[in-house]
Amino acid sequence: MLNLIFCWHFHQPDYRDADGRYQLPWTYLHALKDYADMAAHLEAAPNLRCVVNFVPTLLEQLDDYDTQFATGVLRDPLLADLIEPDLAALDLDARRHLVEQCFKLNHPTMLEPFPAYRRLYTLWKTVEESGAAGLAYLSGQYLADLVTWYHLAWSGETVRRARPDLLALMARGEGFTLVERRAVFDLYGEVISGLLPRYRFLAERGQIELSSTPHSHPLLPLLLDFKAAHEVRPDLPLPACPAYPEGEARAVAHIEAAVASHEAHFGKPPAGFWPAEGAVSEAAIHLFSRAGLAWAASGEGVLRHSLVKAGRDLEYKPSWITMPYRLPGSDTVLYFRDDHLSDLIGFEYKGWHGSDAVRHLLHSLDELRRQAPGPNPVVSIIMDGENAWEYYPYNGFYFLHDLFAELSEHVSIRPTTFSEYLELHPESPRELPHLAAGSWVYGDFTTWIGDPAKNRAWDWLCAAKHAYDAAVEMVPEDEAETAEALLKSCESSDWFWWFGDYNPADAVASFDRVYRQKLKRLYQTLRIPAPRYLDTPLCRGGGAADAGGVMRRGNA
C-alpha cells in the first residue's frame, strides 16, 4: 500500500499598500476560482484525505475582503469598478488601468472559449493603437461588459455550475446592467464569506488536515543566517549586511504569529508547517521543534543535497523520498516533495485529456510503490493550490474530479495526511544526519538572494530593522504594533522573488513600489526620516509574461 499525501498550498502575498489599499486583485480572484473549486471537489469526495495549507497573510486578506463585501467600503479598485454606477466617467488613466487589468488572465482557457469576451478583446486591440483617443472611444457599456466578463471568467467552474444565473449571464454575453453587476458582486461576497467555514468543516469532519506557514511567508533560513545560502551555492554573492539583525527573534515572531492566527481561524493550532517556499535549515527545523510542530515539509532537492553531504550520493534515487526523516535532537519529522509527480500536475497535465492524465498519474504512483525500499512508503505531492488551474480547461474540473474519485476507491493507494501517517506509523522516520539548507526551487536560495537587486533589497530591510530596534520602544503602543505589522510584511519572501531583471517589468514595478512604500511607512511610524534611496526604484525588471500578461509563479 502506498500512502499518498496531497498538500495544497494556498498563498497570496499581501497586496495591500501601506494605506491598506489593494494594488493587485489576485487574492479575491483566486479565492473565487481556485479555493472555492478545491473546497467543492473535496466536498464531493468525502473519502479523499489531504492537507490544505493556509498562509496567515492570505487568511487576513480573506477576512478583509469579507468585510469589504459586507460593508461596501471597498479597498480594492477592481472590486469597486465592478459596481461603479458610471464607468463612462472614469478618466483616461483609470480607463487604461481597468482595461489592461481585465485582460490579465490565461487567454486560451479563460478568454478564447467565450465569444463575447473575445469580441471585447478584439475591439480593444483595434482601438489600442489610437492611444488616448481610443480609450476615450470606449463606451461605459463596453467597460461594464468588460469588468463583468473578467469576474465571470475568474469564477470557479463549480461556482458556475451551482449558479444558473451566472451561466445565464455568460450565455447572453453583453449589455450587463448595474443591477446585474451588483448581483455578481453579492454572489461573490457569499463565496468569499463561506470559504473558510467550508474548509474548517472539512477539517472538523476529519477529511483534511489544515496546516500553516510562518506568518508573512519569510525565508526563515535567511532570517537566521544569510550564509545558509552558501551551503549549496558557496560562491553566491550575499548582501553587504553580514546578517539580518536579531534574526532568530524575528523567525520566532513569525512562527508564533502563524500559530496564533491559525488557531483563531480554525479553532486549534497547526500540527505542521509547509515553510515559505519549502525553505529549511537545521536551525529553522530546531525552531519548529521548540514550537511543538510535529512535521514540516520541503523540496526533493533539499533531500538530495542532504544525502550527498551525508555521503550517500551514489545511493540517491527517487525511492528515497518515499519515507520521512528526522534530524538528531529534533521532534519535527521532515517530509520531502516528489518533484516529478508534483510538476506533472503543475506544468504537464494541463494539455492532456483529464482522464488520460489521471491514468498516467496513477500508473506513476504504482511504479513508485513498487520501487519503495521499505514498508509503509509515503509520497508527498506538494504544490500551489491556485497557479496551475487557469492553464487547464475548465479550471482543472475534470482532472480533479476524476482523480479524487479514482483515489477514493483505489485498492493500493491510500490518501492520507502528514499527521495521520505519523500516528499510524510512528516508527517510520529515518534519521537524517545533516539537513542541507535550501528550498523547493533548485534546492537552494538563488530565487531570493544573490542577484544585485535582491541583495540590495535585503540591505534596505536590514537598515530598516536597525532603525526599528533603535526606536520601537520609544513610540506609543499602537504605533509600535503598526510598526511590527509593517516589519513582518517587509520580511516576506515574495518581495525578493520578484526583484531581478528576469521577471515582467510591470510585476516587478508593482512589487518594487509597494515594498519601498512599506519601508517608508515603517520609518514614518517609528518617527524616523526615511532614507532618500527609497524614492528610487530598486530595480527595473524585465522579461516576458505568459499569454494575457500573466506571470506564472512557482507551483509550490
Structure confidence at residue 504 (pLDDT): 80
Split at pLDDT 50, 70, 90, the class of 34 is: very high
pLDDT in tens, 355-376: 999 999 999 999 999 988 888 9
Within 391-454, strands assigned E span: 413-415, 430-431
Share of the chain above pLDDT 90, in %: 90
Mean pLDDT of 175-179: 98
At 507, the pLDDT band (50, 70, 90 cuts) reads confident
Query: Is the pLDDT reported for residue 161 higher than 80?
Result: yes
Q: What is the mean pLDDT of residues 539-546?
A: 46
| Confidence check: pLDDT of 549 > 50 | no
Residue 260: predicted pLDDT: 98
Over residues 425-450, the pLDDT tens digits come to 999 999 999 999 999 999 999 999 99
Q: For 16-25, 57-66, 486-495, 497-506, which range has the lowest pLDDT when averaged over its residues? A: 497-506
Residue with cell string 538572494 = 449
Residue 551 has pLDDT above 80, yes or no: no
- CA–CA distance, 174 with 165 (Å, rounded to integer): 14
The answer to whether 350 touches 395, Cβ cutoff 8 Å, is: no
Mean pLDDT of 484-495: 97
The confidence band for 159, taking pLDDT boundaries of 50, 70 and 90, is: very high
Cβ-count burial of 313 within 10 angstroms (0-12 exposed, 13-18 middle, 19+ buried)? exposed
Q: What is the pLDDT of residue 542?
A: 42
* CA separation, residue 292 to residues 256, 269, 332 (Å): 11, 10, 8
Residue 544, pLDDT score: 35
For the stretch 316-340, pLDDT in tens is 566 788 999 999 999 999 999 999 9
Dihedral sign of CA atoms 421, 363, 443, 106 in order:
negative
For residue 444, the number of C-alpha atoms closer than 13 Å in the C-beta half-sphere is 14
Q: Which contiguous run of DSSP H or E holds residue 295?
A: strand 295-298
511-519: Cβ within 8 A, 24+ apart? 511/13, 512/537, 512/538, 512/539, 512/541, 513/23, 513/537, 514/15, 514/17, 514/18, 514/23, 515/457, 515/490, 517/17, 517/18, 518/17, 518/18, 518/486, 518/489, 518/490, 519/460, 519/461, 519/464, 519/490
Rounded to an integer, the average pLDDT of 341-356 is 97
Using CA atoms, how far apart are residues 20 and 440, in angstroms rounded to an integer? 31
What was the pLDDT predicted at 530? 98
pLDDT of residue 539: 80
Cell, residue 99: 482595461
- Is pLDDT larger for residue 507 or for residue 213? 213
Average pLDDT value over all residues in the chain: 94
> Given this model, what pLDDT does residue 550 score?
34
Q: How confident is the model at residue 9 (pLDDT cuts 50, 70, 90)?
A: very high
Q: What are the cell numbers at 148?
A: 463583468
**What span, in angstroms and rounded, lies between the C-alpha atoms of 180 and 164?**
13
Residue 313 has a pLDDT of 58
C-alpha cell at 459: 540591505
Percent of the chain with pLDDT over 70: 96
- Is the pLDDT at 541 greater than 50, yes or no? no
Question: pLDDT digits over 40-50, tens only?
Answer: 999 999 999 99
pLDDT at residue 169 tops 60: yes
Please determine, for residue 264, whether its predicted confidence score (pLDDT) is greater than 70.
Answer: yes
